[in-house]
Amino acid sequence: LVIDGALRHAIAANEFRLEYQVIAEAGSGKVGKVEALLRWRSATLGTVAPDRFIPVAEDSGLIVELGGWVLEEACRQAAQWRGGPLAGVRISINVSAWQLADPGFVPLVEATLARHGVPGALLELELTERVLIDDGPNVRNVLERLRALDVSVSLDDFGTGYSSLSYLTQFQLNTLKIDRAFVMDIEHSTRSNSLVHAIIAMGHSLGLQLVAEGVETDGQARILARMGCHYLQGFHIARPAAPEQLLLFVAPRS
């Protein structure tokens, strides 16, 4: 209740920021893309974690407006990176079921990209499996229209939620993000290792890109690269950081 009240003023009060976490190419270690992660510093509540306020924003419907802010800010950032060391790096944003179900969503994406002069190829949307079960036919249509804008779609937290492999043929997806619950044990559990190996093999045969989430050790990174995982994300690569710090990450070292 307290969070809900404070959230209503937070956009106008400029209390939100985006941090960006590097998603590195497994082979070269180069920045392939970045995931935008919402951060809220409330004047009254202090720093509130997204795990706490996103569900509240979803319940109140405020997530549509908040998601619009995230989209706007990510496109502004992509435009600002143009011509610099981060030019061409795709930004991936998290999208809630409510946003996707909003009939204004695809036009908003198109208009926001256009207003900032950002090509759709620089934007990726991360959906969870929950989004896909909620509203099948409509979602299929939305994903087709996003593809026509060149916007990519990834399935976040793959393997946790309500996984049905039928999603992978039903919906036009570009990327699977293997949940960190599996990546965590990959060095020590043969089961996790086999499971991740199987997910990667399946992704390859379906023409999907694979991102491993929650990569925290060098051992995990090596195993995943050897398995053919395309991208690595996790604290071992980089923590979520403000855009200025991201520039340091790609600055040439001498």
Binding site for Na ion (CB under 5 A): 156-157, 213
Name which position in 5, 27, 50, 84 contacts ligand G (CB under 6 A). Answer: 50
- Residue 160 or 170: the one with the smaller Cβ distance to Mn ion is 160
What is the DSSP-derived secondary structure letter of residue 121? G
Judged by beta carbon distances under 5 to 8 A according to partner kind, the member of Mn ion, Na ion, ligand G, none in contact with residue 32 is none
Name which position in 70, 86, 229, 246 contacts ligand G (CB under 6 A). Answer: 70
The amino acid sitting at 1 is L
Judged by beta carbon distances under 5 to 8 A according to partner kind, the member of Na ion, ligand G, Mn ion, none in contact with residue 175 is none
**Is residue 124 within the footprint of ligand G (CB under 6 A)?**
no
Residue closest to Na ion when measured from CB atoms: 157
Cα 75 to Cα 81: distance, rounded to the nearest angstrom: 10
* Phi, psi (rounded to 5 degrees) for 3: -60, -45
Judged by beta carbon distances under 5 to 8 A according to partner kind, the member of Mn ion, ligand G, Na ion, none in contact with residue 234 is ligand G
The answer to whether residues 191 and 210 touch, using CB atoms and an 8 Å cutoff, is no
| CB of residue 182 to Mn ion, shortest distance in Å | 15
The answer to whether residues 240 and 220 touch, using CB atoms and an 8 Å cutoff, is no
The answer to whether residues 209 and 5 touch, using CB atoms and an 8 Å cutoff, is no
**Is residue 33 within the footprint of ligand G (CB under 6 A)?**
no
What is the DSSP-derived secondary structure letter of residue 91? E
- Residue 84 or 104: the one with the smaller Cβ distance to ligand G is 104
* Phi, psi (rounded to 5 degrees) for 107: -60, -35
- Residue 69 or 85: the one with the smaller Cβ distance to Mn ion is 69
Count the residues in the chain.
254
- Residue 23 or 196: the one with the smaller Cβ distance to Mn ion is 23
**Is residue 68 within the footprint of ligand G (CB under 6 A)?**
no
The answer to whether residues 211 and 23 touch, using CB atoms and an 8 Å cutoff, is yes
Cα 162 to Cα 186: distance, rounded to the nearest angstrom: 22
Query: Applying CB under 6 A, which residues contact ligand G?
Result: 21, 37-38, 49-51, 54, 70, 93-94, 96, 156-157, 180, 213-216, 234-235, 240
